[in-house]
A and B are shown apart, each in its own frame.
Chain A
Amino acid sequence: MKKYSLVLIIAFLIQILLSNILSIGDIRPDFLIIFIVYFAVNFGSFRGVLAGFSVGLIISYFDSGVIIGLLPLTYSIVGYLGGFLKDRSYRLGQFNFILISLLIIVFSFFIYTYFNYEYLFYNEFSTFLLTWFSTTLYTLSILAILQFVVPLRRI
Chain B
Amino acid sequence: MRAKLILTIQKNRHHFIFILSVILSFILIYNSSSNQSTQSRKVANNIVNYIKSPFSRFNNLIKSAEENEILREQLLVLSLEKESLLGYEVENLRLKELLDFKRKTKIELIPAKVANMGLTSTLLSMTIDVGSDSGVNKNDPVLTPSGIIGKIVSVNKNSSTVQLISDSEFRLGIRILPSGSTGILRWRSNNICDVREVYKNSSINVGDKVVTSGFSDIFPAGLPVGIVTSVADDRNQFQKIVSVQIRDNLSSLFFVFVAINEELIQ
Contact = CB atoms under 8 A, between A and B. Distances in A.
Of A65, A69, A72, A117, most B-chain CB atoms within 10 Å: A65
B169 A117 contact: yes
Interface string A88-122: 00000000000000000000010011011101100
Nearest to A48: B14
A63 B118 CA distance: 5
Contact of B166 (A20, A26, A49, A69): A26
B195 to A, nearest CB: 15
Interface stretch (B40-48, B99-107, B175-183, B230-238): B40-48
Interface residues of B, number: 50
B56 to A, nearest CB: 10
Given A27-B122, A76-B21, A45 B26 contact: no
A47 to B, nearest CB: 9
A23 B120 contact: no
A69 B25 CA distance: 5
Contact of A49 (B14, B47, B124, B126): B14
Contacts of A67: 29, 32
Contacts of B161: 64-65
A119 B154 CA distance: 20
Interface SS of chain A: helix
Contacts of A149: none
B157 interface: no
A76 B15 CA distance: 11
A68 B37 CA distance: 8
Of B18, B27, B29, most A-chain CB atoms within 10 Å: B18
B203 interface: no
Contact of B169 (A30, A57, A120): A120
A150 B251 CA distance: 31
B48 A28 contact: no
A69 B32 contact: yes
A30 B18 contact: no
Contact of A29 (B44, B121, B251): B121
B113 interface: no
A68 B29 contact: yes
B86 interface: no
B32 to A, nearest CB: 4
Of A30, A64, A115, most B-chain CB atoms within 10 Å: A64
B21 A72 contact: yes
B55 to A, nearest CB: 6
Nearest to A117: B168
A61 B120 contact: no
Interface in A110-155: 112-113, 115-117, 119-120, 124, 127-128, 131, 135, 138-139
B120 A80 contact: no
A128 B127 CA distance: 24
Contact of B122 (A46, A56, A76, A131): A131
Nearest to B51: A16
A71 interface: yes
Contacts of B27: 69
B14 A46 contact: yes
Contacts of B17: 46, 49-50
5 contacts: A26-B124, A27-B123, A45-B15, A53-B24, A56-B25
Interface of B: 13-15, 17-18, 21-22, 24-32, 37, 40-41, 43-45, 47-48, 51-52, 55, 116-127, 154, 161, 163, 166, 168-169, 187, 189-190, 250-251
Top 3 nearest A-B pairs (CB, nearest first) are: A69-B28, A65-B125, A73-B25
